[in-house]
Structure 1
Amino acid sequence: MSLDAFPEHILLTPGPTPLHPHALQALSRPMLGHMDPEVFALNCEIQGDLRVMYGTAPGTFTALLAGTGSLGMEAGFANLVEAGDEVLVCANGSFGRRMAEMAARYGARVRVVTAPLGEAIRADDVAAELAKSGDIRMVAVVHGETSTGVLNPVPEIAELVRDTGALLAVDAVTTAGMEPFHMARWGVDYAYTGAQKCLSAPPGVAPVAISERALARHAARRTPTPLWYCDFEGLRDYWTRQTYHHTVPVNLHFALHAALRAALDEGMAARQRRVQQVGEAIVSALAPLGFSPYVRRPQDRLPTVLALRLPQGFDDAGVRQALRAREISVTGGLGPTAGQIWRLGLMGEAARPGPYRALMRALEDLLGVRGVMERFEAALDGVLV
């Protein structure tokens, strides 16, 4: 069946995001072997571009894991945590709690800093926990908590961790590639994201960056890494020494390379700006209908996942089902926020006016209201993003 036979579907979800045209084109390349010299050359370019995206120190080891962002999360704990290690996890949503569960499965003694749903982790609470023990081996935090649309204060937390001897692991799944990320300046030791988020590449590879401190910690392990597939040394066999470890998804490498290069060519500041512009236009358009930001403090709002509290009496499931019938996907709340919020993705190719114009038109029709599109366009004020 021809691709033309499939209607265009509009993804406004917190992931996956619409494919960048360059990534889509790269997927059609003929297959090459994972040990082909052209693939190794491509991998070297990917590694260099990831260093730029993450803001790493020169020569920092970067790679793609053959899996989604959750594998990036698990690989950090598998390689850098041993049984009995004390790990401090910042958990104010579903993905922070997932971090705590994974660390525990690898034998860590997990302590958790929490915050109410819709609120950011307080740096003072992290400082208090760090003061209780001088033997914390790792601090782990989600930069952008996808489940609630909260931006956690990673720079402030990093400053607290810097002189403790603990490693800092950061989930950058909804920030890296769309917002400036400064791994070296902040002092992050392990960072990961998913290709299908801010970069608008297909799901299936997880870009990671690993500091020299983290590699030294891994080399000093008392026991082998329990997850063979993503053992850091095995990854370096393939990505640095160019010897066989496992078969990588070659075409996903081509697609990620194209999408990542497009992101860097656009520039993080420009991408950050269009996220802000489109997000503000959405809020302006929907506020008169009773939608409001779920996260109370503006500085705690995650720009790339706009969490909106629904109007009183709003038929969440019914409206989203009607939108889906029109080939528009919108994501509701997760867990405790189900039926209370929408989570609108503003990552990669979704953070443009076009997809959201379709949403505004559909809402006017479904809700029997007018003025939504007019307010959206007025807020954009002719901005081309």
Structure 2
Amino acid sequence: MSQNTDLLLLTPGPTPIQPDALQALLIPMVGHMDPAVFALNARIQANLKVLYGAAADAFTALVAGTGSLGMETGFANLIEPGDTVVVATNGSFGDRMVEMCERYGAKVIVVRAPIGEAVRLEDVEKALKEHQPKMVSVVHGETSTGVLNPAPEIARMAQDMGILVTVDAVTTAGMMPYEMEKWGIDYAYTGSQKCLSAPPGVAPVAVSARAMEVVRNRKTPVTLWYSDFLGLQAYWDHRDYHHTIPVQLHYSLDAALSAALNEGLDVRARHAAELSVAVARTLETIGFSHFVKNPRERLPSVLSLRLPEGMNDLQVRTALREKGISITGGLDATRGLIWRLGLMGEAARTEHYMRFMRTLDEILGHRHLESTLEQNLTAVHA
């Protein structure tokens, strides 16, 4: 069976695998209780605290699943039947939070913003004061629409009120500075295949000491045995057997995480922001426009653009795929209306978007997109 080994992923995930992470997959198999693996895990835990800006006493680990398991793990541990939870949502992944909370028996208060707009702080504040929930949850960067939500401000507000805070960091942690302790976040998670550019299959999580205490004082057992924080902590911190971890994925994530921290989160954030602006300006010359109208609410790592009038979404994306470039369209209400271009990890490289513009020129019969991008990058950088 033939495969296109030169396929360039410019999607909102997965991203191209970081070279060191790819090489790490070739490390020979080691047992999950081997001293070398425990040393590996300890290094991952320390680096995750740096990634998230977590407190020294926070618990960090990898959950053996994708980012959606990272999301569910927090709710499984921190929610008991009858708890009140406020979920601020403006897209598919915020709605997923709502569904998960309901499945774990919570009374869910939904604070909703229109698609393409950030959730409003005053609406969240009103819900918190009126309902006094146990927890508030929000997606920092809503992948489905390219909106950046005011997660730091929501977290600070909730912390002052003694409310637990869960934040989805799937498209933010690793591409911009993240201050879990400073902002007052109790639980954060991402997916290995997003900003860190490792293979999918593990979800890096960080849990505050306050959240761990909530788990210890539960009245009912954690429903999801596999991801019980106390069981995971017994393995990660105390080296007790819990379940068989995907060792090679741990090695790969370790390599990708180290590469991201060595490059510098501030450097990665600045580069993604500049590239996002330059790509948008370039595509605006052929009729694309920002889906997220407020510039302050645009997520740099997922550029969401409305298609030009008359462009056939599927036809053009299929043509790009046939020429070795994969991009993603809209979800649900935005299907066929927008493109979502990933600028996370290894995808956020200038040479990749030069190739994208050159290929799009070929498909649409233009001759200026590549040179225009180069000019816009120079202007934005200056």
The interval holding the TM-score normalised by the smaller chain is over 0.9
Of 368, 382, 385, 2:365 maps to 368
1:349 is matched with 346
1:172 is matched with 169
1:109 is matched with 107
Q: CA RMSD in A?
A: 1.4
Give runs of aligned pairs for residues 1-385 of structure 1, distance below 5 A: 6-134=4-132, 136-381=133-378
| Runs of 4+ displaced beyond 3 Å | none
More moved, 310-319 vs 356-365? 356-365
Distance in 2 (CA, whole Å) between partners of 1:284 and 1:342 is: 15
**Residue 165 of structure 1, CA deviation:** 2.1
AA in 2 matched with 1:95: F
| Residues 136-155 of structure 1 deviation map (CA, whole Å, 9 limit, x = unaligned) | 10100000000000000011
**Residue 339 of structure 1, CA deviation:** 0.6
AA in 2 matched with 1:108: A
**Residue 6 of structure 1, CA deviation:** 4.8
Distance in 2 (CA, whole Å) between partners of 1:313 and 1:37 is: 60
SS state at 2:285 partner = helix
Distance in 1 (CA, whole Å) between partners of 2:57 and 2:246 is: 24
| CA 339–358 in structure 1, closer or farther in 2 if over 3 Å, else same | same
AA in 2 matched with 1:358: R
| Residues 156-194 of structure 1 deviation map (CA, whole Å, 9 limit, x = unaligned) | 111210122210000000000111100000000000000
Aligned length: 381
| Residues 328-354 of structure 1 deviation map (CA, whole Å, 9 limit, x = unaligned) | 101000000001100000000000111
Structure 2 contact 57–209 (Cα < 8 Å) conserved? no
**Residue 359 of structure 1, CA deviation:** 1.1
More moved, 277-286 vs 50-59? 277-286
Structure 2 contact 137–167 (Cα < 8 Å) conserved? yes
Distance in 1 (CA, whole Å) between partners of 2:216 and 2:42 is: 23
**Residue 313 of structure 1, CA deviation:** 0.6
AA in 1 matched with 2:108: V
**Residue 7 of structure 1, CA deviation:** 2.9
AA in 2 matched with 1:38: A
**Residue 59 of structure 1, CA deviation:** 2.8
**Residue 133 of structure 1, CA deviation:** 2.2
**Residue 381 of structure 1, CA deviation:** 2.1
Distance in 2 (CA, whole Å) between partners of 1:241 and 1:129 is: 40
AA in 2 matched with 1:352: R
More moved, 46-55 vs 354-363? 354-363
**Residue 13 of structure 1, CA deviation:** 0.2
**Residue 356 of structure 1, CA deviation:** 1.1
Which sections of structure 1, spanning at least 5 residues, go unmatched?
Answer: none
Distance in 1 (CA, whole Å) between partners of 2:313 and 2:157 is: 41
Which sections of structure 2, spanning at least 5 residues, go unmatched?
Answer: none
Distance in 1 (CA, whole Å) between partners of 2:254 and 2:157 is: 34
Distance in 2 (CA, whole Å) between partners of 1:243 and 1:58 is: 22
Identity across the alignment (%)? 59
SS state at 1:162 partner = helix
Distance in 1 (CA, whole Å) between partners of 2:300 and 2:42 is: 31
More moved, 289-298 vs 6-15? 6-15
**Residue 383 of structure 1, CA deviation:** 9.3
| CA 336–346 in structure 1, closer or farther in 2 if over 3 Å, else same | same
SS state at 1:34 partner = coil
More moved, 248-257 vs 357-366? 357-366
Distance in 2 (CA, whole Å) between partners of 1:373 and 1:284 is: 12
TM-score of the pair, normalised by structure 1: 0.97
**Residue 382 of structure 1, CA deviation:** 9.4
| Residues 99-145 of structure 1 deviation map (CA, whole Å, 9 limit, x = unaligned) | 000000000000000100000000000011112123x1010000000
| Residues 219-275 of structure 1 deviation map (CA, whole Å, 9 limit, x = unaligned) | 110000000000001101110010110000000000000000000001111000110
**Residue 289 of structure 1, CA deviation:** 0.3
SS state at 1:173 partner = coil
| CA 144–155 in structure 1, closer or farther in 2 if over 3 Å, else same | same
SS state at 1:380 partner = helix
Distance in 2 (CA, whole Å) between partners of 1:280 and 1:185 is: 28
Distance in 2 (CA, whole Å) between partners of 1:321 and 1:133 is: 48
